[in-house]
Amino acid sequence: MISRSTIDQVFDMARVEEVIGDFVQLKKAGSNFKGLSPFSEERTPSFMVSPVKQIWKDFSTGKGGTAVSFLMEHEHFTYPEAIRYLAKKYNIEIEETIQSDAQKEAAGDRESMYLVSEFANTYFQNTLHKTDAGKAVGLSYFKERGFTRETIKKFQLGYSTDAWSGFTDAALKKGYQLKYLGQTGLTIIKEEKQFDRFKGRVMFPIHSMSGRVLGFGGRILAKNEKAAKYLNSPESDIYHKSKVLYGIYFAKQTIAKEDNCYLVEGYTDVIQFHQTGIKNVVSSSGTALTAEQIRLINRLTKNITVLFDGDAAGIRAALRGVDLILEQGMNVKICTFPEGEDPDSFAKQNTMEELQQYLKENAKDFIAYKASLLMKEAANDPIAKADLIRDMVSSISKISDQIKQEIYVRECARIMDISEEVLFSTLAQMLKKSNAEANKNYQKEKKSFEVVKTTSAPKKVNIQFELEQKIIEVLLLYGNRSEDFEDLILKENEDGVLVLEPVTHKAKVFEKIYLDLQEDEMQFSNADFKTIYYLIIDHLNQSEAFSFDNFIQRIDPKLAAIITSILMNDERYRLHNWEKNNIFPKPKDLSISQLVSETILSLRCFLIDQKVTEFKIKTQDVSKDHSEVLEDVLNYSNLKMLLSRKLNRVL
């Protein structure tokens, strides 16, 4: 197990904006940062990060928490894995404590699959660098491709021996279960036999955005017409090829910095570009580009430059992915290399400066590129040209930004030598058809929804919930502050009438809240708020200097998420007409002591209303004497009147 001191050091060093910035493109928004949600599809940012509070909140899904909880949500890390990741990021040495057998067995299936994958990655690298076969076959191949030793190590390239079960036997000997070797696809299990999937191949580990090994790509070196040249890990609980981009772990920071991503086809294209010096490059690993892969890039930049080799058939197929990119609201450029060249070979033959210059001069806007390419095919055929124009307009219809649409229509009209009016008319027809289909699907969904639609009244605002939440917020933000409080002491005046007399005294905010709630025997109705309340009070009692970071890292992740929601709500939502519900938010000029007093008084008034309602129910039975109950109602009503005077409003 990781020691407490290491965990504390990780929380002290880790900056939530830096950690999340590795996965999401964040832009400054006042004192906070905002970005697109990494948990849902959206085009308007609803993801907020607070550097001051060191927390994040995703308003599209309701998720939130600390840097650790983000890694657990986004990368599906366990708590220890998240701590290890952060320790590595911030160069913190991990201090271990002895782990019991029970704790070892507690690791879930997914974690076991990750552990098996990490072992395989290490095994393949050791085989490449430390065995005769690895050096003679695997290392020689990589060197022939022009990869330096530094590049090979950086991308963790490896080699799987040409033995039927070399890796499998080694893994079983180390204690890894055959079950997980099979689930990751590293081992093929057939009845009583098991053998290596990647036998006799050079290995390319496929990393997640955080650097975890999800699967592998293997290239066969021996001539074997029956075997596939490239072989990928099969789909598993940790590897979904449609949601992964090769090289994203090594490219993410440069993509965000350069605000552009180069998209290539193969592993070696990515590696060769990196070695040349251009690092903002990823690959779809030979598979058709998917919406999930595009969204990975969209979190880091809005700009994609797709790089093609000279294969015309491959270009036509890849152009279909451009429409997907446009649908995601991204900007697309296309660059091709000279005939017979691909990104790998071209990068190998040119310096970084030459490659950058080529990309700059030859990257064309998608509309210009697509037009020039397809015009060659249409030649002098009017029918083919008409189809080409429809194809172009179809791509433009995928763009959601109307200004961009108009600009592209005008550009298309210029290139194709056709009137803008015709293109705008064609675009309108396509959009109308698309909207009609979308509306039809919506109506189907709406109809199915109406079958189970209820006629229940709108949900009312839970006043007590809101006030209890406000108490938690005040404790977290100001709990350890000392303030001058004006208390109200209930006394009889000379005429025997109850009046409230103000008495000023100095106290800490948490002490004031705790004593007031104790005095009135007020209990939290929300179980989570109640738990959080006592945890905060206990923490404040034990620590002179309240540390929010220290507090939130020590509590249950579920409660930490609730706290995050409480503290971040003001960043996104502004509740309107609270006064109508007897909820009075803090004015900008209200002091902390006033805020505390008003919140407590509002809660008291609400609870008085509840008591009066209970008493009124009791008096409905006319067969009983209710004089004592009516007296209680009168006393509570008088108390509420006194409190309303203090609050300067009618309650």
Using one digit for the tens of pLDDT, what is the confidence trace for 9-52? 888 888 899 999 988 889 888 888 999 888 887 778 889 998 87
In a domain, 436, yes or no: no
The predicted-structure confidence for 616-642, as pLDDT tens digits, reads as follows: 666 656 555 555 555 555 555 555 555
Q: Is the pLDDT of residue 612 over 80?
A: no
Q: Given this model, what pLDDT does residue 459 score?
A: 56
- Other beta carbons within 10 Å of 12: 13
Residues 626 and 562 in one domain: yes
Check whether 77 has a pLDDT greater than 90. Answer: no
59 shares its domain with 135: no
Helix (H) or strand (E) holding 160: strand 158-160
- Which two tokens mark 89? 């990021």
For the chain, give the mean pLDDT. 81
Shared-domain flag, residues 488 and 623: yes
Question: Is 106 a residue whose pLDDT tops 80?
Answer: no
Output the pLDDT for position 448. 44
**Do both 41 and 139 map to the same domain?**
no
Lowest mean pLDDT among 166-170, 461-465, 523-527: 461-465
**Is residue 523 in some structural domain?**
yes
Whether residues 256 and 308 fall in one domain: yes
Same domain, 47 and 125: no
Q: 175-224, pLDDT tens digit by residue?
A: 999 999 999 999 999 988 999 999 999 999 999 988 899 999 999 988 77
Is the same domain home to 74 and 113?
no
Question: Could you tell me if residue 550 is inside a domain?
Answer: yes
Going by pLDDT thresholds of 50, 70 and 90, the confidence category of residue 439 is low
Say yes or no to pLDDT of 305 above 70. Answer: yes
Q: How far apart are CA 4 and CA 346, in angstroms?
A: 51
Of 182, 213, 239, which marks where a domain is finished?
239
* pLDDT number for residue 110: 82
* The pLDDT of residue 304: 95
**Global confidence as pTM:** 0.69
Residue listed under structure tokens 């290490």: 122
Q: Is the pLDDT of residue 166 over 90?
A: yes
- Statement to judge: residues 322 and 406 lie in one domain: yes
CATH number of the domain within which 49 lies: 3.90.580.10
Does one domain contain both 143 and 44? no
Is residue 489 one of the residues assigned to a domain? yes
Instruction: Kindly report which listed range (136-150, 184-198, 550-564) carries the lowest average pLDDT score.
Output: 550-564
Query: Is 590's pLDDT higher than 80?
Result: no
Is residue 454 included in any domain, yes or no?
A: no
Q: Which of 245-249, 319-323, 490-494, 552-556 has the lowest mean pLDDT?
A: 490-494
Work out the average pLDDT over 430-435.
79
pLDDT band at 278 (very low <50, low <70, confident <90, very high): very high
The values of phi and psi at residue 301, to 5°, are -160, 160
Percent of the chain with pLDDT over 70: 79
Q: Flag whether pLDDT at 644 surpasses 60.
A: no
Q: Of the ranges 235-249, 314-328, 420-434, which is most confident?
A: 235-249
Paired with 215 in beta bridges are 206
Mark whether 397 and 269 lie in a shared domain: yes
State the CATH number of the domain containing residue 355: 3.40.1360.10
* Residue 176 CB contacts under 8 Å (≥ 6 apart), including other chains: 115, 116, 119
Task: Let me know whether 119 and 229 are in one domain.
Answer: yes
In a domain, 542, yes or no: yes
Structural domain of residue 156, as residue ranges? 107-239
Domain count along the chain: 4
Residue by residue, DSSP assigns 238-265 as S--GGG--BTHHHHHHHHHHHT-EEEES
Reply yes or no on whether the pLDDT at 279 is more than 90: yes
Between 343 and 416, name the one with better pLDDT: 343
Domain end (from 63, 85, 102): 102
Domain boundary among 181, 216, 239: 239
d(CA 292, CA 245): 10
The answer to the question of residue 559 being in a domain is yes
Residues 233 and 255 in one domain: no
pLDDT 10s digits, 358-389? 999 999 888 878 777 767 666 677 887 788 88
Averaged pLDDT for residues 56-82? 85
- Residues 249/211, Cβ–Cβ less than 8 Å: yes
The pLDDT-based confidence of 555 (bands split at 50, 70, 90) is confident
pLDDT (0 to 100) of residue 544:
66
pLDDT tens track for 492-551: 777 777 666 777 878 888 888 888 777 666 778 888 888 888 888 888 887 766 777 677
Look at residue 177 in the predicted model and tell me its pLDDT.
92
Residue 446 placed within a domain: no
DSSP per residue, 490-539: EEE-TTS-EEEEEEEEEEEHHHHHHHHHHHTT---SSHHHHHHHHHHHHH
Rounded to the nearest 5°, which phi and psi values hold at 281?
A: -135, 140
